[in-house]
Copies of this chain bind each other. A is one copy, B any other.
């Protein structure tokens, strides 16, 4: 915290600023949850996060994680995603562009991608039908490279998602 000036705002600073604006308070739990969220790569469920947070403090409750993730989502640090498995998953959002997902139906891997050509066509489709497009979601399901290799030798379905 000693270096000067024009660094981009850190997630912690963003959250603090947002909370200031809303009259919310900084708490140990919120910090723990933010840290856990930033530390874990990928698409985490509340359960995942709770486990992570409880490693640091076993007393943190699930309700607090839900509440805090809602907060992080509101202030733009997190983005909530619904894949078909019944739980909400969160991914980092700060400073990251929109993207879509490629999901492996066997190992559960989730990859992100972005394709401006598809986005353009989506906009065109919406326009052609009189819609004013505000957002979209696109998930592609299939077998990832390594699961294809495995599947060729030993067909089966080790994991659901």
Identify the A interface with B (CB < 8 A). Answer: 82, 84, 102, 104-105, 111, 113, 115, 117-118, 121-122, 125-126, 129-145, 148
Additional A-B contacts beyond A131-B144, A133-B142 (6; CB < 8 A): A102-B126, A115-B121, A121-B121, A122-B138, A132-B148, A134-B142
State how many angstroms separate the Cβ of A7 from the closest Cβ of chain B. Answer: 34
State how many angstroms separate the Cβ of A105 from the closest Cβ of chain B. Answer: 6
The answer to whether A132 touches B142 (Cβ under 8 A) is yes
The answer to whether A148 touches B135 (Cβ under 8 A) is no
Q: How many identical chains are in the complex?
A: 2
The answer to whether A132 touches B136 (Cβ under 8 A) is no
CA distance A126 to B126 in the complex (A): 23
Contacts of A139 in B (CB 8 A): 136-138
The answer to whether A138 touches B136 (Cβ under 8 A) is yes
Question: 7 smallest A-B Cβ distances: which pairs?
Answer: A130-B145, A133-B142, A131-B142, A138-B138, A132-B143, A136-B140, A134-B142
Partner of A140, one of B115, B126, B144: B126
State how many angstroms separate the Cβ of A46 from the closest Cβ of chain B. Answer: 16
Given A126-B142, A137-B139, A138-B138, A131:B102 Cβ within 8 A:
yes
Which residue among A122, A134, A142, A148 has the maximum number of chain B CB atoms within 10 Å of its CB?
A142
